Structures are given as C-alpha cells and as structure tokens.
Structure 1
Amino acid sequence: MTSKRKVAYFYDPDIGNYYYGPGHPMKPHRIRMTHSLILHYGLHNMMDLFIPAPAEAEDLVQFHDSDYIAFLRTVNPDNQDHFVKQMKKFNVGEDCPVFNGLFKYCQSYTGGSVGGAVKLNHGNADLVINWSGGLHHAKKAEASGFCYVNDIVLAILELLKYHRRVLYVDIDVHHGDGVEEAFLTTDRVLTCSFHKFGDSFFPGTGDVVNVGHGPGKMYALNAPLESGITDEAYKRLFQPVMRKAVEVFQPEAIVFQSGADSLAGDRIGLLNLSIVGHAECVKFMQTFNLPMLVLGGGGYKINNVARCWAYETGAILGVQMADQLPDNEYRDYYGPSFRLVVPPNGDMQNENTGTYLDALCKRLLHNLSQMGSPNSVPFHERPPDYPLPDSPTQGPGDPHRVHRLWDGQHHGGDKDDRDLPAGVLRRESGGRARVDISGQEGDGEPRHPSAASAGPTPVQSMLRSPSSGVPNGVDKSALPAGTGLPPQGNAPPGPTPPPPI
C-alpha cells in the first residue's frame, strides 16, 4: 500500500561532509546513511526530491539575534582564537564546536526545513521530510546541545504566515527547550514535548508544571519521562494526549521532530523505544490529515538513526519495507544482523510505572482542557515567502545552572557505530574499555545555558492574537528593541487546579 498524500523530501548531498570533530557524538554523516537506505529501498521514486536552498543571514535573523548570526558567519577553526569573548557569549566551543563549514551547515539544514514549510504553505506537498533538520535546542542568541540555528522555530514562523495555529510535537529524548522558549507567550503555537527528565538530564527543563506564560499559558505541554519507557507505555501516553491536543487546539499544520535518541541503545538517550514503536508516533500524527513537516533531531548511534529514519520514510509513504537491508555502500555499519528493525533492550527496566503514566496522562489532558476555544486570527498583510527553487532535483531545570549534553568522552569514528555482538568490548582512546550493549554511555553532565525563559521575545510579541494589541502580520523588526508584553485587556480565566501527579 502506498500513501495517497503528496510527499516532498529535502536532502543536501554535501550534508554528510560536515564534521563536528574527533569523538563528538553528533555526526551529520548519519543523514547520508539515511539517504542511502532511502535510495536502495526505492523510496525516492515515491517522493518529490529537492536540494534545499541555503537559508541566508536575512532569513535567519527572523528569529536569531543579528550579532549571533554575524558571528556564525565569521568564525572558523583558523580564526576562533580571536573570538574567545564571543564564543563564551554565544555558548560555542564544547557541545557546539567551531568546525569547517559551520555556517554553510546551518544554512543547509535550515533551508530544508523552511523550504519545506513553503511547500506546505502553497499546497505543493501534503507532507515534507527533512531529516537534517530538527535542531531544537538553539536559542535566539545562543548555541546549545549541538544546535546552532533553530530551523524548527524558523519553519514554524514560515507556516504561521498561512496557518492560524501550528502544533509542534517533539519525541526526542531531550526536551525541546529552544522551540518552547521561542513560542512561550503565544497561543498560536502549541508545543508538546515527550522527553526524559530529572537526574540532571539535559537540558534540565520541561517539567509538567511548565505550561507557558501570558497569552501562551497552557500552550506548552510537557511530558517528563523516566528511563526505559517501552513502546506500549509510550503509546499509552502519546496517543490520547495528541488526540486531545488536536481536538482542542485545532491546528492547521503540524511540525513533528522525530529525534532518534529516544531509541533503545542510543549512546546518550535513556529510553527504550524500538524503531517500530518510534515510527508509530509519526504514523499516528499522519492520521489527522493535516499539512505536516517531519524533521530529524538527536540520535547518536548512527546506524540505528539511519535505520529509523529510513523506516519512518517508508511508514510515511505507506510502504511495507523488507526487514533484510538491501546492499548499500554502508552495509558494514549494519552487521551482524543486517536488519532494518532492531529490537529494544530486553534487560532495561522501565522506570515509568502504570500509575505514574496514568497520572501524567490525566494531568496533560487536564491542561489541554484549560486552553479554551482556539483563537481565529485574521490575516492582514502577509510577509513575503522564503525563496525556494522552482523545480525538484533527481540527484541523490535550573535556568542559571550550566549543563552539557556531551561529557567530552570520545565517541569514536563513524565506523565505531556499527553493530557489535552482545558483550563485545571495544577500547576507547586512553585505554578505557566499555561494553557496547547498554546504549547508556555518554550520558554525563548535560548542558543548558542560562535563559530568561519567562520573558517574551519580539517574535513572541509578534505572534500574539489580535486581542493582545499586536496585529498579525506585523514585521517584528518594526517592534522596538526589548518590546515586552503590552497590557492585557482580556486576560483569560485562570485554570482550575490540576490533578496531582
């Protein structure tokens, strides 16, 4: 069975050439491996293929601070010693290193996400895939968690030019803090994040009590999870909450961040989803038949990331894919099983009890019930569209605590990410041995830069509903620097007390 919906797919053939540095867990090469599987399964024949138009600096400052973007454009490995002060200011250096082609990398993955939003806006696609996007931790003027430019925020801003309400869904193991913060005070975007929380896990934010501010109160939904959640337990929470979110919020478009670090065996993540269970979330969101942008995100065992996103591409297209992997140029990465679907870790304990999940689900459904009727935003003057190529290509917690996502340990080269038999030891630099079966290495002290999440940004002020006093369609550059929230004449009634959790 194949999908009847029109699917567009963005891929930059150069994306796999970017390199964060020796031992860094973030490896853009995983996107090239994903693309290879998509080609060898023949899935590209069922989609419109596009090379993304690079996002220019003037596009990026629609959300990001101009000084920050100017810094990203200028800094490189040869001159970074002259930018020590700026690197500290913009949180660049450890989790987010300077590497060759950094700005072009940001332009590429962002161009795919924002370009995909344009395709959806004009009805040129029903669903768009950009596996290189989904970098949800980047802030207005800070890099964070391997993310430099927040392509998700920029894509949502593009969608809001044509859609009154956008639903953002994030299944990465880490809280989607950068996206939530960007839209914290607007009722036009509902952000929903399902993530590991607690035990100093990066980024330390995303508790269930964090629900947004001002006009955006109750428009941030957070599902904090314990380690080891399984497919069935995740489904038990995800589906009723998302069904209610769509019913109450009535979105006109969906952005789905499909971070693969929530898979079993990830080097940083601590959840226990199978590829099939992970893909069920994407498939469920498809059932609402809304324009949808599907993005990548985290994922640090690159062979499993490629398996997952190739499998989800097939799921989006409605294709039943053979479990035996086709011959491809990266075949050695997938041994010894050479299978598409890898099982979860049978020895990992699910620390999410049924009682906890039921209480969490009840709390989230209650929060959604407090949103009230969705606002109907009249469109006035619409900002110009993001530029896009005309034709497809057929080519191949505590805001003041500093957290880190990566603890600096060596994660090996790409080929160290191939499958190994259970119990096989491999030796890292420095002579330290580890067993490659737990998927829990590299989960040390995470990083979260300080961020005044309670305060609005100019983007948040611009996105307020008409009753807020800032009409839709106002270019945020017209707002004075430091514009805060204007007085609220029609404050919504306060929510009733939530159920305990």
Structure 2
Amino acid sequence: MAEQFALIYSSRFSQYSYGDFHPFKVDRYRLTYELMDHCGLLTVPQMVQVECPEADEAALETFHRPDYLKTLASFSADDDVHANFFYGLGDVENPVFKGLYDWARLMCGGTLEAARQVCEFKARAAFSMAGGWHHAHAARASGFSYINDSVVAINALLEQGKRVVYVDLDAHHGDGVQEAFYTTDQVMTISIHENGKDFYPYSGFVDEVGEGAGYGYSINIPLVPHSDDLIFEQAFSRIVLPLIESYRPDILVTQLGADFMRTDPLTRLEGTTSFMEYAARQFLATGIPWVAVGGGGYHRLNVARAWTLLWATMIGHPVADALPENFLPTVTSLGEETLLLRDPPHLASPDDFSRAQQHLDKTCSYLERQIFPLFHLRAGGV
C-alpha cells in the first residue's frame, strides 16, 4: 500500500485577525495554501486534504484550566474591550477579539486531526500549518498563543499509550510544551532556538533538563544571534538525531516555525529555506510516524515559501527553485521583490560564525556529558 500524507487546512482561518498592526498575520496560511497550489502540491495522489475541525473542551481541559477556558470563551463572545492580565489576555501581545476562542479551538483541532490521521488512518505524516502555539500555559496566554495545541495533541497520544518525541525548531523556545512534560519520561522535548538570555521567552537554557522522572528528557539547544544553516545542521546531527534514535518514540511531533529565517523581523538568526528542507528530510528518514505543525514566522512570504518546501519534501514531490509565474502577482501585492521559492545559500560573517560555533560546541559538549550517558550514547555516535 502506498504511503499517504495528510494536509489539515480550512478556509475559515481567514475569518480571524489579531489586528492590522499585530506582527502575527493570519493571511500567511492562505498565502501558503495558494503557493502550494501553484506549485502543484495539492493534487498529488499520495495526499489527502482534511478540513480542520474544532477541538472540544474535554480535549482542551487535558492541559488547560477550566477557569482560563471559561474566561477566554467569554471574552471572545463580542467586540467589547476585555482584559485579564492574570490570564495574559487583552494586552498588545495577546489581544482579544470576537471569535478568538473559536479560532483557538480550530487551530488546536487541526493538530488533533493531524495526530488522528497518523495514528488511526496510518498516514505516513500529517501537516497542520495552523498549529504550533508552543507558548500557551495551562492558565495563561503568552507569545501570541492562547491554546497549546501540541500539548493537547500529545496528551491524546499519551492516552493511547504512545511515547512521543517533540522537536521544536521555532526561533523561540517552546516553553509551554517543555513545562507540560518537564517531569515525565513519556515525552522527550527538544528545542533548538535563539538564546533566551535576552530573547523571548527568556528560557530554554541548556541546563533545563527535566526533573524527577523527566530528568534528561528535556533538551535545549540555544543558539546565539546570527547562527546560520551550518550551525542548525550541526545541532541537528550532533544532538537531535541521536536522541530520537535512542529514545525510539512511537510518534514524532515537530513544531516548524519559520522565524529562524534571516529576514524575519522579530528574530536574529540567519537560517534559510535550506534548513527547513534539511529538517524535513531528516524527520522522514527516521521512519517514525510524523505529526508536523507550523508555529512562528512574521514575514508572510518567508512562511509561505518555507512551509511549501516542507510539504513538498514531506510528500516527495520536486519543485523548482523559482516561484511559479502565476504566483508573482501575489508577491508584488505584498510589496516583495523575491522571485525565488528557495533561498540562495547564505553564510554568516566569519566573526558571527565563529561566535556561533564556539557557543554550539559548548552546548553540545554539555549535553553529550550530562544527557547522552542516560541514553547509552557517546559523542559522535551511538
């Protein structure tokens, strides 16, 4: 039987908005979908497109407190001004708008559906681009995130007796997911991100390794600003892949924010689309059933290009380096000038690369000394 891949999507994504001046633009999902379509990636025989459902409250309450959910639902019922800073709601970062709760449930439902497609329908992999809100806590919105879809979906997988590895490649540390599973050995969380020393959410340091039964199952690889694709790939090959292989999960869940890219307005890393394709190839090569979700990314065209290449790599469908000609009017309407689907190769300046390499070597050495022995791993090989 041929492998099948599931894309979870809904035209309803476009019905919501964080506000004209908020850095998170909901229309990036529509742009991504349109670019996938122009690249011929939505009609291949090995894929199925599934409408994004809404998560029910029972699923949400596996992680989120009922009082928080009740407040979120109440604030979302009308266009009045609402705020509750105890719950992180109503500030500039996490605005409240009519329909917000429906939007959050829709996004979370997509991630649950992706997990369902992989577990119940045996899809080789599933991608829910609207997921990946890794900063939400049990009773507090944070970092544009209101519902932590990855935690909710992983909890559903745990109820089925699955062991899970969660890998987060967003430029920001996946703090909400780490917090949820910090004391368990049934989920290993791995996050590659920009160093939290002076960068939101100011967490994800290398010595955050879990507690109790979870000691050694929380892995952080913080990168200094201006880390490029070569630094990312080393972190991946030296730490991420050996740990996945050693842990032997039943399900792989990955958060693939596109804000690691060098032209993202909110971050200081220097990645390109090449790293997204590299990561996708490596995840596929593990042979583990794979649930992929989106995440950050505040340059809309970057997001569309990166996730289109992710989907193309996932389903094994080749695409050209250039953007399709019939997509170029959309590029012009965004005020962009790029004609490329794939970024050209980019290297950080020698001084920046040297600093990034030294920091990465120190980080990897710490993990190889402190964590690898717990999983019978040696530096440089199993």
SS at match of 2:24: coil
> What's 2:269 paired with?
271
Q: Within 5 Å, which residues of 2 pair with 1:385-396? A: none
- Tell whether 2:56 aligns with 1:56: yes
Unaligned segments of structure 1, at least 5 residues: 374-497
Q: Report the 3-state secondary structure (helix = DSSP H, G, I; strand = E; otherwise coil) of the residue aligned with 1:14.
A: helix
Residues 1:91 and 2:88 aligned together: yes
Query: 1:334 and 1:363 mapped to 2: Cα distance?
Result: 45
Say which SS state the counterpart of residue 169 (structure 1) adopts.
Answer: strand
Normalized per residue, the structure richer in helix is 2
Q: Indicate if the aligned counterparts of 1:34 and 1:310 stay in contact, CA closer than 8 A.
A: yes
Partner of 1:209: 207
Which residue does the alignment assign to 1:363?
Answer: 366
1:347 Cα deviation from its structure 2 partner: 6.6
- Equivalent residue, structure 2, for 1:42: 40
Q: CA separation in 2, counterparts of 1:163 and 1:126? A: 19
CA contact 2:196–2:204 (8 Å) conserved in 1 = no
Structure 1 residues 34, 319: closer, same or farther in 2, change over 3 A? same
Number of the residue aligned with 1:412? none
Instruction: Give the equivalent residue in structure 2 for 1:389.
Output: none
Report the CA distance between 1:193 and its aligned residue: 0.4
Distance of 2:323 and 2:185 partners within structure 1: 44
Change (3 A) 1:351 1:113: farther
The residue matched to 2:131 in structure 1 has which SS? coil
Distance 1:220 1:115, change over 3 A: same
One-letter amino acid of the structure 1 residue matched with residue 266 of structure 2: I
Contact 1:226 / 1:351 at 8 angstroms: preserved in 2?
no
* CA displacement 1:61-119 (0-9 Å, x = unmatched): 121000111111111385654x54xx111011221100122011101111110111112
Aligned to 1:67: 67
Task: Give the alignment of 1:434-453 within 5 angstroms.
Answer: none
Q: CA deviation at 1:339?
A: 1.5
Q: Which amino acid aligns with 1:184?
A: Y
SS at match of 1:262: coil
Gap change, CA 1:22 and 1:344, over 3 Å in 2: farther
Q: Given that residues 18 and 95 in structure 2 are in contact (C-alpha distance below 8 angstroms), is that contact kept between their aligned partners in structure 1?
A: yes
Counterpart residue type for residue 262 of structure 2: A
- 1:326-341 aligned within 5 A: 326=324, 327-328=326-327, 330-332=330-332, 333=334, 335-341=336-342
Deviation at 1:346, TM superposition (A): 5.7
- Tell me which of 277, 280, 286 is aligned to 2:278: 280
For the 8 Å contact 1:112–1:133, the answer to whether it is kept is: yes
Give the aligned residue type for 2:320: A
Which residue of structure 2 lines up, in the alignment, with residue 390 of structure 1? Answer: none
Indicate conservation of the 8 Å contact 2:114/2:126, yes or no. Answer: yes
Name the SS for the 1:100 alignment partner. Answer: coil
Q: Which runs of 5+ in 2 are unaligned?
A: none
- For the 8 Å contact 1:184–1:212, the answer to whether it is kept is yes
Contact conserved, 1:229 with 1:351, CA < 8 A, in 2? no
Kindly indicate whether the alpha-carbon contact (under 8 Å) linking 1:325 and 1:339 is maintained by their aligned counterparts in 2: yes
State the SS of the aligned residue for 2:154: helix
- Distance change (3 Å), C-alpha of 1:284 and 1:334: farther
Pairing 1:97-112 to 2, within 5 Å after superposition: 97-112=95-110
Instruction: Report deviation, 1:337.
Output: 2.7
Contact 1:324–1:340, Cα closer than 8 Å, also in 2 = yes
Task: Tell me, yes or no, if the aligned pair for 2:195 and 2:223 is still in contact at 8 Å.
Answer: yes
Indicate the residue corresponding to 1:308 in structure 2. Answer: 306
Offset at 1:157?
1.0
Partner of 1:296: 294
Query: How far 1:190 moved relative to its partner?
Result: 0.3
- 8 A Cα contact 2:165 2:189, kept in partner: yes
Change in Cα spacing, 1:285 to 1:367, as seen in structure 2 (3 Å) is farther
- In the TM superposition, 1:247-266 aligns within 5 A as 247-266=245-264
Shift of the 188–136 alpha-carbon distance from structure 1 to 2, 3 Å rule, reads same
Say whether residues 1:148 and 2:151 are aligned partners. no
Name the structure 2 match of 1:226.
224
Q: Which residue of 1 aligns with 2:244?
A: 246
Q: TM-score by structure 2 length?
A: 0.91
CA contact (8 A) 2:55 2:105 kept: yes
- RMSD, matched Cα: 2.1
The count of residues paired between Structure 1 and Structure 2 equals: 369
Larger Rg: 1
Instruction: Kindly provide the CA deviation profile for residues 126-177 of structure 1, in whole angstroms up to 9, marking residues without a partner as x.
Output: 1000011000000000000000000000111112233431000001000000
Which amino acid in 2 is paired with 1:360? T
Q: What's the CA shift for 1:233?
A: 1.7
Supply the distance in 2 between the matched residues of 1:173 and 1:195 (Cα, whole angstroms): 4
**Partners of 1:121 and 1:334 in 2: how far apart?**
42
Q: Given the superposition, is the C-alpha separation of residues 5 and 362 from structure 1 closer, same or farther in structure 2, using an over 3 Å criterion?
A: farther
SS at match of 1:350: helix
| 2:173–2:196 Cα contact (<8 Å) kept | no
Given that residues 273 and 344 in structure 1 are in contact (C-alpha distance below 8 angstroms), is that contact kept between their aligned partners in structure 2? no
Change (3 A) 1:80 1:281: same
TM-score by length of 1: 0.70
| Counterpart contact for 1:16–1:30, Cα < 8 Å | no
